[in-house]
Structure 1
Amino acid sequence: MDRRRVLSFIKSALSGFDKPLSLIVFLLFATGIVALYSAAIDMPGRVEDQLRNILLSYVVMLVIAYLPTQTLMRVAVPMYTVGVALLIAVAMFGLIRKGARRWLYVGMVIQPSEIMKISMPLMLAWYFQKREGVIRWFDFAVALLLLLVPVGLIAKQPDLGTALLVMAAGVYVIYFAGLSWKLILPLLGLLVVAVTLLITFQNDMCAPGVNWPVLHDYQQHRICTLLDPTTDPLGKGFHTIQSIIAIGSGGVQGKGWLKGTQTHLEFIPEKHTDFIFAVYSEEFGLIGNALLLVLYLLLIFRGLFIAANAPTLFSRLLAGSITLIFFTYAFVNMGMVSGILPVVGVPLPLMSYGGTALVTLGAGIGILMSISRQKRLIQT
C-alpha cells in the first residue's frame, strides 16, 4: 500500500512536466554527462557535482512548472527591479575577480546578471501584456529602454557573453510583440556593413595601438584573433586553433569515447565548460554532432509549439523568448568553438559544467512547462 502511495505521489508530481520536452531535456543531460566524464576524467568530483547541479535544476524545473502563469506575471516587475538594483550594487561595490566586477556578497557570493536572463523576458512580456491591443511605437521605445539599462550595466562589468544573452532575450520579446521589419532591416544592414568593413580593413583596424570605442582591449583582441587566430597562436588565438583542430580531427565517426587526443593531452582549454562541444566533436564526430543538433532542434521546435499554442499574449511572448534563448546559447557556443564567432564565455546549454547557468536554464524549461500545463488545464 505504501509503495502504491509513493508511486502515485511521484506520478502526480511529474504530471506537470511536458512529456516531449522532458524527454528531450533528459537526453541532453545524459549526453552532457557522457561528454563531461571524458572531459573531466582528470578532475575528480566534477561529474558528481554536475549530477547534483542537474538534480537541483530538476527541482527548480518542477517547482516553476506548477506555478500558474498569473504568478509569473506578478513576480515579473519585482524580479526585474531587484535584478537592476543588484546590478547597480555590483557596479558600486561588487567583488572583483580576474579583472571583472561581476559578483556580489550577500551572505554568499552571487552573480546578479544571471537573474536578468529570466527576469528580462518576464518583464517585457508583462509590459506588452498590459498594452495588448493598443501597442504603439512609443511602447517599443520604452521596452528598449527597459532592456538597455541592465544590458549596459552587465556590459560595463565587463561580461559581454551575459550581456549578449540578456540583450537577445529582450529583443526576442520585442520582436514577437510586433516590431516592424522596417526597423529591423536597417539595423541588420548596419551590422553587415560593419562586419564587411572590419574584414576588408582588418590589418589596419587590428594594428597595434588602434583602439576601438566602447569595447575593452581584450574584447577587441578577441575579435581580431577570430579573424586571424594565427596572429596570437599561443595567446588569444590558442582556444580557437585547438578547438578547430579537435573538431576536424573527429572526422565522420569520431575517435571514440575517452579516446580524444586533443582532450586528454590537455590541448583544449576550459574543456569541461565552454569548450565541451570540442571534446564531444572529437570523440563522436560528425554523426554525433548531427544527433546533438537534432536534439537542440527538437527542443526549439517543442518550445515554439508551446509558444504558438499559449492562451495569452504574456505566455506567447515569454515562451517564444525562452525558447530562442536556448537557440542563442547553442548557436553562440558552437560558433565560438568552431571559430566563426568570438570567444565570449557562453556555455553549451544543458551540457557544459556549471551550477548557475544550469539552474537558470532549468528555470527557463520550468516556465515552458508551466505554460504548457496551463494550456492543458484550459483544454480539460
Structure 2
Amino acid sequence: MRLTERRPLLQVLKPYIFVFDGQLALIIFLILSLGTVTVYSAGIDFPGRVEDHLRNVLVAFVVMWIAAIIPPQSLMRVAVPLYTVGVALLIGVAAFGLVKKGARRWLNVGVVIQPSEIMKIAMPLMLAWFFQKREGMVRWQEFAIAALLLVIPVGLIAKQPDLGTAILVMAAGFYVIFLAGLSWKVLVGLVLAAAGSMPVVWSLMHDYQRNRIMTLIDPTTDPLGKGFHIIQSTIAIGSGGIPGKGWLKGTQAHLEFIPERTTDFIFAVFSEEFGLIGNSILLFLYLLLIGRGLYIAANAPSFFSRLLAGAVTLIFFTYAFVNMGMVSGILPVVGVPLPFMSYGGTALMTLGLGTGILMSIQRHRKLVQS
C-alpha cells in the first residue's frame, strides 16, 4: 500500500505567502515610509497619531494580501453584488444616514460605515464586468448604460455632499469607460457639453462649494477665513526651498498654520521639511507606481483585468494629482488624501485593496503563463 507523499510545509504555504508583486510592493513601501516619517512630524502634537497610522498601515497590508490572493475571476463574480450593495447603502444614507458637520455621509449598520468608500472599488469592478460581458460588440448603447451605472452612485454621493469622493468615483468609472474604447469624438463632445452646463452646475452647488472655487481664484479676498488654507499651504511649500527646512523643523506645521496637516494637507508639511529635492523623489515614486500599474494593465490576460488594472492605476494618479493640486493652490480644496502618505484608515484600506487587485492580476497572469 503506497503512502501519499506529504508536501513540504513551505511548498503548501507558498501560494499564500509569496503573493506580492516585488516591484509594486517596494514602491508602496518607500512611499509609506516617507508618509510615516511625515505623519510623525505633522502629528507630533497629537498623542497616539503615529501608532494609529501604523495600525492602519498594518490593516491595509492585510487587505492588500487578501486581495492579492483572490483571482480576477472571483472578483468578476462579486462585481454586481458589491455594486448593488453599495448603491443600496448610499440610498440608505440619503434616507436615514448620520449627519456630522452638516454632511450626511455615514450609516449605522451595527457599526458606523461610509458607503461612498465602497464605490471607489465597486464602480470600476462593475463597469469592467459590464464591458467584459460585451467584449467585441461595444456600441453606443453600451456606453450609455455604463454612463447611467456611473451617474447613479456619483449623484447620490454628491448629494451628501461629498465632492471629493464623488470626483474619485466619477474618475474611476470614467477611466473604465474610456479604456473600453470610448471615441475621442464623443469625449470632446462630453467636454463641450460639460462646459456648456457649468451655469446649471454652479446653481446646484452648495454655498461652501462655490466659496471654494472663488477662493481658488483669489484666496487673498478672505485671508483669515476661506482663503487661509490655500495661503498657508502655499507658503509652506515655497518656504521649503530646494533642500527643505529639515525633518521636524517645519515652522508652518509646528506653529499650527497648516490645517488638517496629517491628512489632506500633509503634502504641505512634506514640502516644507524636505523641499524640492524631497518632492522630486516623491513624484518619481508616484511615476514608478503609475508606470508599474499600467504595465500590469497592458499585460493582463483578459479584457476585464485590463480595464480594472488600468482604472485602479489611474485612480492612484487622480488621488495624487487632485491632492497636490489643491494643496498647491491650482485646484479647489476637496477632501482627497495623498495616497499612502496621508493619515487615515478608510482611505488606506481602499488604496491597499486597489494595490492588492493589481498584484492579483499580475500574479495570476504568471500562473496562467506557467
Please give the TM-score of this superposition, normalised by the length of structure 2. Answer: 0.95
Residue 9 of structure 1 and its aligned partner are, at CA, apart by: 7.9
The CA distance in 2 between the partners of 1:325 and 1:10, in whole Å, is 32
Matches within 5 A, 1:177-326: 177-189=180-192, 212-326=202-316
- Pair 1:343-2:346 in alignment: no
Structure 2 counterpart of 1:78:
81
Residue 187 of structure 1 and its aligned partner are, at CA, apart by: 2.9
Amino acid at match of 1:133: G
Aligned residues of 2:16 and 2:69 also touching (Cα < 8 A): no
- Pair 1:114-2:117 in alignment: yes
- Pair 1:34-2:29 in alignment: no
Residue 212 of structure 1 and its aligned partner are, at CA, apart by: 3.4
Amino acid at match of 1:286: L
CA 1:232/1:190 → structure 2, altered by over 3 Å: closer, same or farther?
Answer: farther
- Pair 1:143-2:178 in alignment: no
Percent identity for Structure 1 against Structure 2: 71
Residue 120 of structure 1 and its aligned partner are, at CA, apart by: 0.2
Structure 2 counterpart of 1:95:
98
The CA distance in 1 between the partners of 2:40 and 2:86, in whole Å, is 35
Residue 188 of structure 1 and its aligned partner are, at CA, apart by: 3.0
Decide which moves more: 79-88 or 180-189: 180-189
Structure 2 counterpart of 1:162:
165
The CA distance in 2 between the partners of 1:53 and 1:109, in whole Å, is 17
Residue 13 of structure 1 and its aligned partner are, at CA, apart by: 3.8
Amino acid at match of 1:101: R
Matches within 5 A, 1:359-374: 359-374=349-364
CA 1:73/1:12 → structure 2, altered by over 3 Å: closer, same or farther?
Answer: closer
Residue 186 of structure 1 and its aligned partner are, at CA, apart by: 2.7
The CA distance in 2 between the partners of 1:244 and 1:194, in whole Å, is 31
Residue 234 of structure 1 and its aligned partner are, at CA, apart by: 1.1
SS of 1:256 mapped into structure 2? coil
Amino acid at match of 1:377: L
Residue 10 of structure 1 and its aligned partner are, at CA, apart by: 7.7
The CA distance in 1 between the partners of 2:64 and 2:177, in whole Å, is 25
The CA distance in 2 between the partners of 1:153 and 1:260, in whole Å, is 40
The CA distance in 1 between the partners of 2:209 and 2:165, in whole Å, is 14
Runs (5+) with no aligned partner, structure 2: 1-7
Aligned residues of 2:75 and 2:125 also touching (Cα < 8 A): yes
CA 1:194/1:264 → structure 2, altered by over 3 Å: closer, same or farther?
Answer: farther
The CA distance in 2 between the partners of 1:290 and 1:8, in whole Å, is 42
The CA distance in 2 between the partners of 1:8 and 1:23, in whole Å, is 24
Structure 1 counterpart of 2:51:
48
Please give the TM-score of this superposition, normalised by the length of structure 1. Answer: 0.92
The CA distance in 2 between the partners of 1:347 and 1:187, in whole Å, is 28
Give RMSD over aligned pairs.
1.7
The CA distance in 1 between the partners of 2:328 and 2:65, in whole Å, is 34
- Pair 1:174-2:177 in alignment: yes
The CA distance in 2 between the partners of 1:87 and 1:275, in whole Å, is 28
SS of 2:107 mapped into structure 1? strand
The CA distance in 2 between the partners of 1:50 and 1:6, in whole Å, is 34
Q: Pick from 111, 123, 127: which aligns with 1:124? A: 127
Matches within 5 A, 1:18-29: 18-29=21-32
Residue 230 of structure 1 and its aligned partner are, at CA, apart by: 0.7
How many residues are treated as equivalent by the alignment?
A: 362
SS of 2:202 mapped into structure 1? coil
